[in-house]
Structure 1
């Protein structure tokens, strides 16, 4: 009876992503006893390892939301999101200026930065959807040129924003106990989920990702759908870039969003989504993003240096991805069936 229940639970799409997350958190329960402690500081803000994980994973969650629909529609990845984050931050800070007052209203500058990032995503979408260029090759253009564009906008300098309320988006609002990026990430995920579930867009994306030619035959404009997903990915990169810039009160075009594209792709994969396109799970990608940040935070709490972090992180990721692979699942399934057959043979012999 219990085995049947376990099998049913194991078939649930989010089972393995959740298992991986709980394993990472469980190790911390043993190695770092105070890992799950949450306190309130003198400013009335919650802090602790768990709060730090949720806070620091916010940008990655937002990027993963955009990457998920990209992968689902085109069976390809957008490797330019990190550079697009830098472009969005550069546009925002350039328009705001570096004095003691904003040159233009803060909201307009942030919207301009997000619009610039969306335009970058639309450019990628045009190359992939209209010109039929392989996604990785198409997005490689902005991957290499994006930071150069950001440097041109900033004049090759690090622009510092001295106005106090600029940091609210990347830190906390007065009187609010949770960091602002947590609310922004939650809003992006909820709105994206509503859009994909309450409209036909989610079904269209899956249909195009599974078979774009068949989708055309039933009247779907696969070119437009792929274009929209890449533009949306750029939009998400713009939002993430605005948060990242606000965290450091400046724009450093060389470092904002650096290597974030790899973590975003990995979050999609860890979430149980197929990189071959088609069906997708936004919730799985969110769990994957939190798992990656939890892993990084865990390693730091165990005394692993920043230089050594990628090595340990790569080893754990390989194990997690291997456990979720179809071949591993097939092996365990065949192994359990073999045990059942052996037990049945023993009973017959007796």
Structure 2
């Protein structure tokens, strides 16, 4: 019995040490705050019209899907000691390409697949261009992706003629608004993509090589790691995932807003990655942490709206929550609290000993 309890205690201790654990705690607390305002907040019902699940939790899962896509790509890029500030702009480029393609196409599955493939190919090309600037030209990732962040939205405006473009296609719309087994298909697709990327990088040497070039590029090169090829692959992957996120965001309303689609999404991606425990210094990444971080950002956004917080105060509210979470994740802060708790316990023991004497 003591061995079982010891193993349980060790498992809990190991879980607490994982940074994404505190992200899960934050999600639970935010949901708890919403429940205090409305006890039915967590209720999930079955729609009588179509048999799909509906509720606030379902809305959170749907909102988390595009964040998950760009967060996973950002996670891999940051692991190489880089950064990708262009993901929001690549989202709007993918959305613009898909809407312009569908605008003059028939309402068929083939047209939807053609628009999807074209959008992802162009997003991959732009992501690869980021990788080219970083790996071949030798520019800093911050500068390279900042240039693409500025240029990408301009490319989208050129594609759409500077106008918001709408289209009609039932199959394409289903990507973001459809359901499978009562759950949003957009969330299921995001989960499958995360699992596929996780298997690819964790069940092979690819993940270790990505971390190696982030920790010590020179040592990785001496060990035979193809740094240039990996960087091209990582930035291309980030571009494709940003393209998928752009399709998710655009297909939900079948309209691309060249000014708002993907706006500041790179910040949400970076926050999700950091909350999940990926080091901004490179050499370490956690896809499961990015997954949790994405759910937290989506929950936080929904909580802000649900509590009726004014738009002017929204950034401050999000900042307070994220700073508090980062403090909880800090080993130094937790050690400080543990030290105080230990000191207080020792003081109480000393007082009892004095009274007994």
The answer to whether TM tops 0.5 is: yes
1:69 to 71, 76, 85: 76
TM-score normalized by the length of structure 1: 0.92
Q: How does 1:233-244 map to 2 (within 5 A)?
A: 233-244=238-249
Kindly state the Cα deviation for residue 344 of structure 1 after the two structures are TM-superposed: 6.0
| Segment of structure 1 superposing worse, 62-71 or 152-161 | 152-161
Is 2:341 aligned against 1:332? no
2:250 to 233, 245, 252: 245
- The 3-state SS of whatever aligns with 1:33 is coil
**8 A contact 2:105–2:111 mirrored in 1:** no
Is 2:45 aligned against 1:22? no
Q: Deviations over 1:165-219 (max 9, x none)?
A: 331111015x752222111101111110110122110111111111111111111
Q: Structure 2: how far apart are the matches of 1:210 and 1:193?
A: 20
Q: Structure 2: how far apart are the matches of 1:242 and 1:209?
A: 30
- The 3-state SS of whatever aligns with 1:156 is coil
Q: Structure 2: how far apart are the matches of 1:145 and 1:196?
A: 30
Kindly state the Cα deviation for residue 232 of structure 1 after the two structures are TM-superposed: 0.6
| Segment of structure 1 superposing worse, 220-229 or 117-126 | 220-229
Q: Where does residue 214 of structure 2 map in the other structure?
A: 209
Kindly state the Cα deviation for residue 37 of structure 1 after the two structures are TM-superposed: 0.4
TM-score normalized by the length of structure 2: 0.90
Q: Provide structure 1 residue ranges, at least 5 long, that are not aligned to the other structure.
A: none
Q: 1:13 to 1:310 in 2, by over 3 A?
A: closer
Q: Deviations over 1:227-257 (max 9, x none)?
A: 2111110010011111111011122211111
- The 3-state SS of whatever aligns with 2:40 is helix
Cα RMSD between the aligned structures? Answer: 2.3
| Segment of structure 1 superposing worse, 9-18 or 125-134 | 9-18
Q: 1:161 to 1:212 in 2, by over 3 A?
A: same
1:49 to 34, 46, 56: 56
Q: How does 1:139-154 map to 2 (within 5 A)?
A: 139-154=145-160
**8 A contact 1:98–1:162 mirrored in 2:** no
Q: 1:10 to 1:344 in 2, by over 3 A?
A: farther
Q: Provide structure 2 residue ranges, at least 5 long, that are not aligned to the other structure.
A: none
**8 A contact 1:122–1:230 mirrored in 2:** yes
Q: 1:258 to 1:46 in 2, by over 3 A?
A: same
Q: Structure 2: how far apart are the matches of 1:30 and 1:114?
A: 42
For these two proteins, the number of residue pairs brought into alignment is: 348
Q: How does 1:1-350 map to 2 (within 5 A)?
A: 5=10, 7-41=13-47, 42-73=49-80, 75-98=81-104, 101=107, 105-173=111-179, 176-339=181-344, 341-342=346-347, 345=350
**8 A contact 1:85–1:237 mirrored in 2:** yes
Q: 1:32 to 1:272 in 2, by over 3 A?
A: farther
**8 A contact 2:175–2:185 mirrored in 1:** yes
Q: Structure 1: how far apart are the matches of 2:109 and 2:278?
A: 44
Segments of 4+ in structure 1 off by > 6 A?
A: none
Q: Structure 2: how far apart are the matches of 1:343 and 1:88?
A: 63
Q: Deviations over 1:298-350 (max 9, x none)?
A: 12111223443222112211211222134323322433443455456557765
